[in-house]
Amino acid sequence: MALLSRAVSENISVRLCRLQDELLPEEEFRRISCSRCYTYMTDVNFKPGMKAKLATNMNFIIGNDTVEPNLALKNPLLNTFVSARQAENWRTCCARAADCCRDVIGVSGVVNGNDSCPGVWDAWMCWPDTPLNSTRQYPCPTHIRFETTESYCELTVRKTCEGDGRWRGRSDNPGRQWTNYSSCSVHHIMKRRQYTSVTAYAVTAVAVLPALVIFHLYRQLHGKRIALHKNLLTSLLFNAVFVIWFKTSVLLPPNARELVLNQNGPYCKLILLLTKYFRLTNYMWMFCEGFYLHRLISNAFAEEKSLILFYVTGWGFPVLPVIVYALLRKVYSDNDCWAFPSDPIEWVLYVPSLLSLLVNMIFLVNIIRVLVIKLKAPHHQEPSQYRKAVKATLVLVPLFGLHFGITIYRPQSATCQWEELYAYLDILLDGLQGAIVALIFCYMNGEVHTLMQRSYRNFVQLKNPSLSAGQCLGGSTVTTTQTAF
């Protein structure tokens, strides 16, 4: 207040700008606001242990050197950030503070009427003069980053001007103005999504494991087509297990940032790479399923003589992109246990996955075309042929992974409700795919039903030897003819 009174009484022509509760000359404002932009950035933006310590004069200490908070391109402070993007966020904050002083809060000098709260830079955002008893609302600035994962929808922050001409303060310190930026954090949203994802993958693991046991127990289910199903289900099971392991051990612990991510050790990276590997095997085995069925139907239902090429494609090929991915992450983005996407490196894994989906889509269109032609043969009723074609399409879609086409494009919507809908649709389709495949190709398989019924009747007869075979089996016979899909 003494500074304010002195400035008014002397009618100083030097531009003064308000930084939180202080009025500062423009040059000093630039330096201190830039310093606070750095200080208030959360640890997620910095390399582990690299955030510079603040000195008493608002400079920083790096090693034995004192560094000024300026926008010089070779400023050592830039090297403390985890990536160039975070460094640019800091520079953006500093630049916006300078713009705020020059264009918004400094233009009217220090004189302020009694009908508004004075314009201020609160260390993160610029707030112009605001009428009494009103609240201003703005989108959260891009340079604010509480966690690694960002929201695609528009989050907002508010600041309230009280009736006495003061900005609202915290409940525990009402005399000091305060802006509540908690609404800019998506931590609780992402946490909820992670738990939903873990639950979905757990459902898949529980559904897939018995299906694999069933496929392995019955010799009648040891054909090449079922062998492909077993490999796809095995891939989905391992992917589910490693996703659950990675998320529960790396992302979801209460102190995950301090205990795991900041340590950036080899353990979490290995789990991540195995997760990426099994994820890619999912797509490769979907491709193998599509290729096999397409070849089978397009070539007069000729059986493959060997599945060696399929095993190499499904289990061997994914090793190469994962190795390339690991090398690139080590060189260009070695932070946070590689837990968060790093564009454009992620495209090393995206490209083969997307290509497999594209080729499977071509396979599916041709398979449906062939089926429709065959269903138009004599002795087929007209409405029935379309029902069967539609049924075949719906059955093949989860097997080929084409349902991911629903969420392959992420809408850039400003409405958070739409982003939530997209996110949960993506999570559920992704996590429950294995359960859907197991349900359709095992638990709803007529041949499996027949074999299970026979095993049950044999078990009953074993427990009750007095019952005749006819009584136990009900006079039925077991067929081993495999279903079409």
Q: How many helices (H) and strands (E) does the chain have?
A: 15, 13
Which carries the bigger pLDDT value, residue 159 or residue 45?
A: 159
Model confidence at 361: pLDDT above 50: yes
pLDDT band at 314 (very low <50, low <70, confident <90, very high): very high
Whether the CB-CB separation of 131 and 161 falls below 8 Å is answered with: yes
Whether the CB-CB separation of 228 and 306 falls below 8 Å is answered with: no
Q: Is the domain 187-444 a CATH 1.20.1070.10 member?
A: yes
Compute the distance between CA of residue 468 and CA of residue 440 in angstroms, rounded to an integer: 34
Compute the distance between CA of residue 402 and CA of residue 157 in angstroms, rounded to an integer: 39
Which carries the bigger pLDDT value, residue 388 or residue 312?
A: 312
Half-sphere exposure of 314 (CA within 13 A, CB side): 24
Whether the CB-CB separation of 448 and 442 falls below 8 Å is answered with: yes
Compute the distance between CA of residue 170 and CA of residue 436 in angstroms, rounded to an integer: 50
Model confidence at 381: pLDDT above 70: no
The token pair that represents 203 in the structure block = 């459902």
Compute the distance between CA of residue 49 and CA of residue 263 in angstroms, rounded to an integer: 10
Q: What is the mean pLDDT of residues 226-234?
A: 93
Cα 410 to Cα 413, 418, 460, distances in angstroms: 9, 10, 54
The angle formed by the CA atoms of residues 416, 420 and 423, to the nearest 5 degrees, is 135
Strand, coil or helix: what is 18?
A: strand
- Identify which of 341, 290, 269, 379 has the alpha carbon closest to the alpha carbon of residue 83: 341
Q: What is the mean pLDDT of residues 147-176?
A: 79
Compute the distance between CA of residue 257 and CA of residue 116 in angstroms, rounded to an integer: 42
Q: Identify the pLDDT of residue 9.
A: 43
Q: Identify the pLDDT of residue 6.
A: 44
| Average predicted confidence (pLDDT) for the chain | 82
Tens digit of each residue's pLDDT (9 = 90 or more) over 279-310? 999 999 999 988 988 888 777 556 667 889 99
Q: Identify the pLDDT of residue 297.
A: 78
Kindly report the backbone phi and psi dihedral angles of residue 157, in degrees, each rounded to the nearest multiple of 5, phi listed first. -125, 145
Tens digit of each residue's pLDDT (9 = 90 or more) over 64-83? 888 888 888 888 999 999 88
Domain ranges of the chain: 2-184, 187-444
Q: Identify the pLDDT of residue 238.
A: 98
60, containing H or E segment: strand 60-62
Which carries the bigger pLDDT value, residue 332 or residue 43?
A: 332
Strands (E), 26-133: 53-54, 60-62, 65-67, 116-117, 120-121, 126-127, 130-131
Query: Which CATH superfamily is 2-184 part of?
Result: GPCR, family 2, extracellular hormone receptor domain (4.10.1240.10)
Tens digit of each residue's pLDDT (9 = 90 or more) over 452-476? 888 888 877 777 766 555 555 554 4
The angle formed by the CA atoms of residues 423, 426 and 429, to the nearest 5 degrees, is 145
